[in-house]
């Protein structure tokens, strides 16, 4: 069976890491499979949202310590280091991180090391009550290199990043929620259902607006306020498709749109 399961149903791409016997650690083969899968998701107009999860009791234990890491430590050349800057781990962490379609991380268990980096690379993270998050690299003699430090600081702040990286101790799902590392924590058996509900909430919206909003958020991170405001204004006032927006506005005028100021439930 493939080390990566990839299905498409009702505009949702389901991406499942499938090495449960290795806690879904990413070996070179799985790295390549992930890269090709994210390229396909990016290019396929039939899907608009992805849900990423892991098979078994782990989300992802990071780069495989037997097959992925040793060659990098022993054989990496300066040229390889430069080339690797373009690719990251599994593509989503770096290299294919600019995909404008939303990716939901359904964190079902351990998200460790590169698995934490992969979770952080998702746009929305929903955690099972069994999920655990950790940066154990300092125990092995190195630290995050595929976005873990950058995204932890951007998402949770330097204090949380320093604690997790310097102590190399894990945090549970509730602490992750307190740290803003995840959006919410749900019962383990409801995790995929909750991820699908979130996907359908995204899918009911204008995908032009959704993708422009994601692009804008990525563009403004770390910039000075004036640059942030300029980018937001440029993207916002240039993103609308005239026909789509006027059609959606007409529904508002006709009072036929769902979810008007909270007076009507919005169907999924």
The set of residues, in sequence order, having a beta carbon less than 8 Å from that of 246 and lying 6+ positions away, is: none
How do 49-54 and 4-9 pair as beta strands? unpaired
Q: Which of 107-121, 140-154, 223-237, 241-255 has the lowest mean pLDDT?
A: 241-255
Tell me the range of 61-75, 131-145, 209-223 where mean pLDDT is highest: 209-223
Q: pLDDT class for 256, splitting at 50, 70, 90?
A: confident
CB contact burial 232-255 (16+ within 10 A = b; e otherwise) = eeebeeebeeeeeeeeeeeeeeee
How do 103-107 and 58-60 pair as beta strands? unpaired
Q: Is the pTM of this model over 0.75?
A: yes
176-203 pLDDT tens trace = 999 999 999 999 999 999 999 999 999 9
Please indicate whether residue 223 or residue 258 has the higher confidence score (pLDDT).
Answer: 223
What is the strand order of the sheet 171-172 is part of?
A: 58-60, 110-112, 132-134, 171-172
Q: So what's the pLDDT on residue 112?
A: 95
How do 132-134 and 171-172 pair as beta strands? antiparallel
Q: Copy the structure tokens of residue 7.
A: 């299905």
Q: So what's the pLDDT on residue 241?
A: 86
Residues 27-41 have a mean pLDDT of 96
Catalytically active residues are: 63, 114, 117, 137
The SS3 of residue 103 is strand
3-16 pLDDT tens trace = 999 999 999 999 99
Q: So what's the pLDDT on residue 253?
A: 85
How do 4-9 and 12-17 pair as beta strands? antiparallel
Nearest-CA neighbor of 125 among 64, 55, 50?
A: 50
CA 64/CA 96 separation, integer angstroms? 21
């Amino acid at each position: 069976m493939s080390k990566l399961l990839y299905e498409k149903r009702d505009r949702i791409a389901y991406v499942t890491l499938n090495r449960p016997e290795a806690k879904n650690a990413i070996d070179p083969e799985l790295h390549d499979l992930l890269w090709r899968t994210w390229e396909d998701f990016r290019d396929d107009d039939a899907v608009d949202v992805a849900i990423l999860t892991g098979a078994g009791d782990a989300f992802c234990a990071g780069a495989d310590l037997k097959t992925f890491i040793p060659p990098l430590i022993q054989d990496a050349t300066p040229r390889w280091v430069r080339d690797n800057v373009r690719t990251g781990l599994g593509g989503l962490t770096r290299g294919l991180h600019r995909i404008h379609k939303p990716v939901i991380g359904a964190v079902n268990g351990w998200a460790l090391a590169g698995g934490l980096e992969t979770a952080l690379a998702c746009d929305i993270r929903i955690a099972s009550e069994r999920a655990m998050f950790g940066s154990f690299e300092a125990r092995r003699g190195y630290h995050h290199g595929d976005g873990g430090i950058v995204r932890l600081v951007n998402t949770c702040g330097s204090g949380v990043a320093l604690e997790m990286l310097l102590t190399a101790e894990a945090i549970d799902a509730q602490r992750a929620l307190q740290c803003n590392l995840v959006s919410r924590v749900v019962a383990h058996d409801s995790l995929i259902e909750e991820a699908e509900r979130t996907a359908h909430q995204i899918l009911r919206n204008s995908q032009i607006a959704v993708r422009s909003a994601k692009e804008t958020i990525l563009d403004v991170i770390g910039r000075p306020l004036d640059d942030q405001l300029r980018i937001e204004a440029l993207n916002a006032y240039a993103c609308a498709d005239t026909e789509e927006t006027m059609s959606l506005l007409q529904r508002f005028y006709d009072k036929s749109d769902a979810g008007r100021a909270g007076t009507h439930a919005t169907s999924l």
